[in-house]
Chains A and B, each alone.
Chain A
């Protein structure tokens, strides 16, 4: 079981992801709705993994990713976004993301991506 922080500006997605993660045996230790909350909670909770949305109000997910990596270079972050195309994915991976999946997501797909990000 891994401790996971879920970051998404949409509450519906925070809840969906939390349900899927808990159904696959993980513990969701916190929710954040924006980049600032995410960094603060990351520092406080030190989760094993962060699932991170990209399109958010205020600082976007890639900026948030960079801030988390700056805080902890070993951080494991899985990007989960509605836009699954090349340039954004490339920037996220170059910025330290351990994985990248596009919505809509299914539980099995999420589980595989989480396991891969934790192992990476």
Chain B
């Protein structure tokens, strides 16, 4: 565990929340763009979470996981963790994202946007590929917004690598791998919990940012040096 990790000062925490809120503000617009309909009752809750708590907060069970590495002034990775559902169908975020607009039963073959099937180059036909394609872009746009916020607020330039999608991720492999690695070099991560609904379906997923402790330290220094508005 790194000795670089120090408690956040209240003003640092508040400034970080402001920076992250700029990224959080894009969540609704991103979901609406990707899904073609507006999510309702959307809450986007940000916290700085120790790894051990993060491991407990993310539920077990199959999920779709998106992993995007980033490099630049801070090096780390983002995870988008979307539970697929449980046997009782109570956790229906996956259904919400991939069922038909009319609220029909979940069918990966019928993608939420009616304009999916369109002649063109590079057509993706398999339903699994559609899910990977969509999740990849969802992660790309969501996390891009946070890096944009980081640059605009702290002048810290970071660059996304290509997204990797694991579907199905039955054993939380991406999360486990990330925790194993980042436990060696940091202690905590940013976690964003997104809840809301799309039609009749609840949406519930997590965005996680992990970075080396020195990256967080640089960010906190940049935050502290930020001029008063």
Contacts and interface: CB of A to CB of B under 8 A. Distances in A.
Contacts of B148: 83-85, 102
Interface string B115-145: 1101011111000001001101100110111
A106 B29 contact: yes
Interface residues of A, number: 31
Contacts of B133: 10-12
Interface stretch (A15-23, A65-73, A112-120): A15-23
Contacts of B75: none
Contacts, number: 95
Given A12-B34, A83-B144, A105-B33, A88 B159 contact: yes
Nearest to B114: A19
Contacts of B33: 16, 103-106
B48 interface: no
B30 interface: yes
B191 interface: no
A11 B121 CA distance: 9
B31 to A, nearest CB: 8
Contact of A85 (B30, B120, B152): B152
Summarize B's interface: helix, strand, loop or mixed: helix
Interface string B207-224: 000000000000000000
Interface in B60-96: none
Given A55-B162, A57-B162, A32 B121 contact: yes
Interface of B: 26, 29-30, 32-34, 36, 113, 115-116, 118, 120-124, 130, 133-134, 136-137, 140-141, 143-145, 147-148, 150-152, 157, 159-160, 162
Interface of A: 10-16, 18-19, 30-34, 37, 41, 55, 57, 81-88, 102-106
